Amino acid sequence: MSGLFVTGTDTNCGKTQVSLGLMAALQARGWNLLGMKPVATGCAPSPAGLRNHDALQLLAQGSAPAPYRRVNPYAFAPPIAPHIAAAEAGVEIELGTIETAYRALEAQADRVVVEGAGGWRVPLGSGRFLSDIPKTLDLDVVLVIGLKLGCLNHARLTLEAIRSDGCRLAGWIANQLDPEMASRDANLATLHTLLDAPCLGVVPRLDPPVPDDLAGYIDPGPIEPPALP
């Protein structure tokens, strides 16, 4: 297994920031990393085609160049749910296309960090969900928990869904969304009791969220590959 799937408790919980920080933390330990955003909406037109800001950041953080279409096989303009955007574009999101792109990235890197879209059960259409991507690619999962009111419920439900799908939660990272969150430490303590997986870090609200700075709050030890080549 040479990849990780980064999912979140919800949309806008900080998956991209945490993915970039995780990549930087592993790169600081000498590993070659590439990022991937298989499905993205809210993409902007460019001379080369639709481009997604999150995917471009993952591409820039990578340890080696990679074709954009390999990093982001499915890009849609409207900032809406992927299955709706795909239907409007007359496109079917195929797991085989995503796997082909992933395997090519996998051949270039020690580890590929694959960022999801929204939460674990976001529909892709035709009975498929985002959760089918880590199952197809045999990826361990890192859960990003946006620290805000309601995160305890979302975190536990996501853990249960991950395990019911036969996937493994390799670890979780708490991301401070609300700097004034009431009882923050008590919520973190509760998360430790609700999630029987390693806590890889607690990321404060940073402005700007520079990957190398984010990496300082993430301990990739529990998910680090076993030995350098």
Gap between the Cα atoms of 154 and 167, Å rounded: 17
CA 156 to chain centre: 18
Indicate if 148 belongs to the active site: no
- The dihedral built from the CA positions of residue 181, 185, 189 and 195, taken in this order, carries a sign that is positive
Contact 154, 9 (CB under 8 A): yes
Gap between the Cα atoms of 178 and 205, Å rounded: 8
Quickly list H helices, the chain: 15-27, 53-61, 68-71, 82-89, 95-106, 132-137, 151-164, 184-194, 211-215
**Which amino acids are annotated catalytic?**
37
